[in-house]
Amino acid sequence: MSHIRTATGRRIYYGESGTGPPVLLIPGHGGYRPGSLIWLAEALAPRFRVVAMVNRDAGESEPETAYYGLGDMAGDAAALLAALGIDRAHVLAPSVGGYRPAPGPRPSSSGRSPRPGQP
């Protein structure tokens, strides 16, 4: 298990395997990569560069003593990708993990930015 340090000094642990277009796996809250998403990482690794992160307060991560929200957790994911030199990635995130990449509008295929509650 490897780790990076964010600008604030937080250690973000992750596992990496495979080659190809990057895929970021984010487990649900309290999820721990080796225990919850290893089967998915193994299935994707033959065709993708799989980066499976470990959430705050889970696995090897340090215990969290202060309040944190989804924005903080999205920042962890962004910091991990940046540290690995990944500009864009597919994201697979079940449960609460799926809310982390959500902050900030993303252009749709039509070129317009969706607003919350809009397709």
CATH number assigned to the domain comprising residue 92: 3.40.50.1820
Classify residue 15: in a domain, yes or no.
Answer: yes
Classify residue 118: in a domain, yes or no.
Answer: no
Classify residue 106: in a domain, yes or no.
Answer: no
**CB within 8 Å of 41: residues ≥ 6 apart:** 15, 17, 18, 25, 33, 50, 52
**CB within 8 Å of 73: residues ≥ 6 apart:** 55, 56, 100
Classify residue 49: in a domain, yes or no.
Answer: yes
Return d(Cα 92, Cα 40) in angstroms, integer: 10
Classify residue 11: in a domain, yes or no.
Answer: yes
Q: Are the C-beta atoms of residues 33 and 6 closer than 8 Å to each other?
A: no
Classify residue 116: in a domain, yes or no.
Answer: no
Other Cβ atoms within 10 Å of 59 Cβ, number: 18
Domain count, the chain: 1
pLDDT in tens, 1-58: 788 888 888 888 898 999 999 999 988 765 555 556 788 889 999 999 999 988 877 7
pLDDT in tens, 59-79: 777 777 888 887 888 888 999
Per the structure, the complete domain to which residue 86 belongs is given by 2-99
pTM: 0.74
Classify residue 112: in a domain, yes or no.
Answer: no
Give the distance from CA 43 to its chain's centroid.
18
Closest CA to 98 of 74, 75, 82, 72: 74
